[in-house]
Amino acid sequence: MTLAMPKPDDRVLENRDSFLGALAAIVPADNLIADPVGLKTYECDALSAYRALPLAVVLPETVGEVSEVLKLCLEHGVKVVPRGSGTGLSGGALPLVDGILLGLGKFNRILEIDYPNRCVTVQPGVTNLAVSQAVSAAGFYYAPDPSSQIACSIGGNVAENSGGVHCLKYGVTTNNLLGLEVVLMNGDAVRVGGKHMDPDGYDLLGVLTGSEGLLGVITEVTVRILPKPDSVGALLLGFADLASAGDCVARIIADGVIPAGLEMMDRSAVRATEDYSKAGYPLDVEALLICELDGPEAEVAELSERVEAIARACRATTVRRARSEDERQRFWLGRKSAFPAVGKISPDYYCIDGTIPRGRLSEVLTRLDALSEKHGLGVVNVFHAGDGNLHPLIMYDAARDGDLEKAEALAADILTLCVEVGGVLSGEHGIGVEKRDLMGTMFTAADLKQQQRVKCAFDPDGLLNPGKVFPVLHRCAELGHMHVHKGDLPFPDLPRF
């Protein structure tokens, strides 16, 4: 399919061979991929509807190599697309034909585990799950847990501000992040934050988290680890209608109960996942909630009683408590198998995410059903109900003419609906190219220009991941972010990035 991206720079394409020669002097020969067959591996991320072959793929192994590669690209005006594990779902790592794809997969070492300060320092290519595995024996874990945690990388989690099923109580990536090392487009390596809790000055750590590779290349990450809870319990709650399930979610939070996880699946998701994983889900429900509670044993017992009472008051048809750790894991097996389960029943599916106020859950799901019927495509709904983060999976067949276009139109309508009811375009997948052209539904032109001024402060030449996030990327000079008087910059002592 055709996607509007920045116009390729003919000068870069014409000088490809000499540029590749210069790259070959920076990284080992095996870490530079330029042949068409090798490049195919990197033509897309998990949002595979969009594809492009990069000019080259560079796989650096040291911060020094990253720095030299970026300086070379700045000198030659070559665009750079940073990439982690390629599990992103918004096209954020989509390559550019006149740009390199900078893969961080070889940055895969855990550098330090600091139990007294309850933090771990890792390279960006370390997988999410590997952090918890590394500290598990000592009784710790890393809280953010995307469904792709076995494969997704920490660097990518920071770039997208990823969440997971436990983000309701423990927060998304930004709430568990302490420090970063980032290489800027001019090759400078800078450190932001650290092991200390409250750094002075501007919150640059917050600016970089969720910046989708537009501001710098992450080369080191320090994250917070938490002690494993003393006790964990889970309840499986089934409802005869979506409205009752949505009401139950709202009442649980209103009652002052903050579950470790509160997930919801509609009837289609329940049937697909049960067929795939045999988790023991009831098949006579229209909606299913998984509520996990953790903390001291007495607290978990008391909260479980309260949640069960709320569920019964909301006319739950199934109320089941996990009687063992094995049964609790089976509750989650179905939810975490949702994506492959849908892949089994549909030739293709398009996974999107948007976030809405919890109180609008039942309304949005009802309207989503109407949109599904309007576009003639089925939708399976799985989502982090506790924080209103929807994950509709739109089923389609890419081999059928017009189906992908219908899926995109339905996705746009769903995301527009999220914004309409007071939500946002993304809860954790990022904007990338998938939602780029919908940014105007959430932000004014003035809002977007202000955001682009931040990019200009880090990347004035616009070489880092262009074509993502902003529907129209202005040249920095057009934004009027700096007034030049008689050829002089207003702050001559500041570094020129």
pLDDT given for residue 201 in this prediction? 83
**pLDDT per position as a tens digit, 267-293:** 999 999 999 999 999 999 999 999 999
**pLDDT per position as a tens digit, 458-482:** 999 999 999 999 997 777 767 754 4
Number of domains in the chain: 5
pLDDT given for residue 2 in this prediction? 57
Mean pLDDT for 353-371 is: 91
pLDDT at residue 102 above 60?
Answer: yes
Same domain, 322 and 359: no
Cα end-to-end distance, the chain, whole Å: 36
- The DSSP-derived string for 71-139 is HHHHHHT-EEEEESSS--SSSTT---TTEEEEE-TT---EEEEETTTTEEEE-TTSBHHHHHHHHGGGT
> Is 66 among the domain residues?
yes
Same domain, 252 and 328: yes
Same domain, 206 and 124: yes
Same domain, 323 and 279: yes
pLDDT at residue 115 above 70?
Answer: yes
Same domain, 381 and 430: yes
Same domain, 40 and 139: no
**pLDDT per position as a tens digit, 290-330:** 999 999 999 999 999 999 999 999 999 999 999 999 999 99
User: Which pLDDT band holds residue 496 (cuts at 50, 70, 90)?
Assistant: very low
Same domain, 215 and 127: yes
CA distance 357 to 367: 15
pLDDT given for residue 401 in this prediction? 95
pLDDT at residue 33 above 70?
Answer: yes
CATH number of the domain within which 188 lies: 3.30.465.10
> Is 306 among the domain residues?
yes
pLDDT at residue 430 above 50?
Answer: yes
pLDDT given for residue 96 in this prediction? 95
Tell which of 87, 103, 119 closes a domain.
103
pLDDT at residue 495 above 70?
Answer: no
> Is 440 among the domain residues?
no
> Is 139 among the domain residues?
yes
pLDDT at residue 212 above 90?
Answer: yes
Contact between 377 and 397 (Cβ < 8 Å): no
Same domain, 178 and 250: no
Same domain, 123 and 17: no
User: Which pLDDT band holds residue 486 (cuts at 50, 70, 90)?
Assistant: very low
Q: Which two tokens stand for residue 312?
A: 């019964």
Q: Which residues contact 433 (CB under 8 A, 6 or more apart)?
A: 3, 5, 47, 50, 90, 91, 92, 94, 467, 468
pLDDT given for residue 475 in this prediction? 73
Same domain, 222 and 235: no
CA distance 189 to 183: 4
Domain of 310?
231-338
Same domain, 246 and 268: yes
> Is 343 among the domain residues?
no
> Is 1 among the domain residues?
no
Tell which of 312, 338, 364 closes a domain.
338
Q: Which two tokens stand for residue 361?
A: 């859950």
> Is 4 among the domain residues?
no
> Is 310 among the domain residues?
yes
User: Which pLDDT band holds residue 371 (cuts at 50, 70, 90)?
Assistant: very high
**pLDDT per position as a tens digit, 144-188:** 999 889 999 999 999 999 999 899 999 999 999 999 999 999 999
CATH number of the domain within which 355 lies: 3.30.70.2740
CATH number of the domain within which 299 lies: 3.30.70.2190
Tell which of 338, 365, 386 closes a domain.
338
Letter string b/e over residues 207-232, b meaning 16 or more CB atoms within 10 A of that residue's CB? ebbbbbbbbbbbbbbbbbbbeebeeb
Whole-structure pTM value: 0.91
CA distance 33 to 316: 56
pLDDT given for residue 62 in this prediction? 98
Same domain, 263 and 364: no
